[in-house]
Structure 1
Amino acid sequence: MTDKLIDTGMVLLDLDDSGVGRLTLNRPEAANGMSVPFLRALYDALMRCHREPALRVLVLRGAGPNFCAGGDIKDFASKGEALPDYLREATSWLQICVTALMRLNAPVVAAVHGYAAGGGGFGLVCAADLVVAAESAKFLPGATRAGMAPDAGVSVTLPRLVGLRRAMELVLTNPTLTAARAQEIGLVTTVVPDDELDAAAAKLAAALAAGAPLALAESKRLLWDGVGRSVESALPDEARTVAALSGTADAREGLAAVIERRRPVFTGK
């Protein structure tokens, strides 16, 4: 039997009898792009996970064609000169959500299809414990392309996952990675045919749910704590940087270019 803990709205959450929870990003019409209301809903769902003693593993996935395309750029662009203040709030919610994923006792499995981009999608992938990707999935850091900087802890998690030089390449040049390439460099745990994604994630989740929960929780904690500079210590710096950059002409140009599907023209202002 499956218990629908949150069954309406922008984020859905259910928990079955084996202890497998499924958290679904549910804004398919916006490629699950992140706005402040969406991030608040994600936070509420994650806090519900933290107070569910029966939760043994959490599968994170996206509704519709994409896992998560990052920030909701149309929502961001609509804020105009108020964007820095809006992004201070958005990044605060995103930071809490990322921390909640990493500090959740239960292992987190991201099941990725379509695009995982920006601080939202790419950042959630970096914050997951294990990542199962469909063969056609695409991964894109995306921040500097829009005149912004990494957030969601990516400035710490990405170099630890793929190495400093590779992280520099990804963040500064923004290549779109195939699932196979993402697995090759260590961003993704495993790649499966598109039509096997749900089954592969469920199989992995079932194996984890059958494990020793206290041992898994403590092992997960030790590994995240061993990252070196803690992700939490980097988050305030990321937030200040993103908010400051969002007030620049280059950031406005970057957002406009993404919306209009053209190459941006940056002026350094």
Structure 2
Amino acid sequence: MKMHADEAEIDEALVLRLVAAQFPQWAGLPVSEIPSSGTVNAMFRLGDSLTVRLPRIKGGVCDIATEWEWLPRFAEVLPVEIPAPVGRGEPGEGYPWIWSVQRWIPGTVPARGDEVLARELASFVRAFRRIDFTGGPLAHRGGPLVEQDFETRDALGKLEGWIDTSVATAAWESALAAAPAFSDGWVHGDLMPSNLLVADGRLTAVLDFATAGTGDPACDLIPAWNLLSGSARDAFREALEVDDDAWNRGRGRALSMALI
């Protein structure tokens, strides 16, 4: 099922043809689609140790080039494993855009997080904030929160009768009223549970850096609401020493993503 009207035709047969034509060393390896809630890229497993990542739409093509530029640099300074590009594919076999082959990273997606995972996530966020690479892109969601106001209110209107929109609207307006970030920094920007991998409850990898760049540090507080609760949420906030304004902006960003 396609997610976009202008989405490319992508299936396992296409991946087999692309790999065989451009990476003969991996030709013949089995290909299987990886179930994913991602809306921008289609993901396939290639053999036991590789994945293939293909943009579904033209808007995702620049993400491939961005990841090729920045992922090797991030890997040197982050405390957990991240995707490692090993092959850059070109248009072919009827597919119109560049694509990539990356190393497969084992692990499972967390259903919820405890205090241990909360502190490990905070350690990752702190490490990202310490990055001082110059010339980076702007984070996809990293601008002032008001930039998301139209889409968020549009979603609230469409959800009337499905959720308590008065409570959600009050929370959104509270986030908009929070003081802005004092300065921007590097952020991942999409720390959804589906972009985290754990083993035995410990954080082992973070995936999908397509939205990474410089922006409001509150962007990386969203796990406090999409993964953590109770004492785990408190531990995450304490480990990052988050003030009330940043916490409110982070809640607003998590709320906006959930509503949309």
Larger Rg: 2
Fold conserved between structures, TM > 0.5 = no
| TM-score interval, smaller chain | under 0.3
What's the TM-score once normalised by structure 1's chain length?
A: 0.26
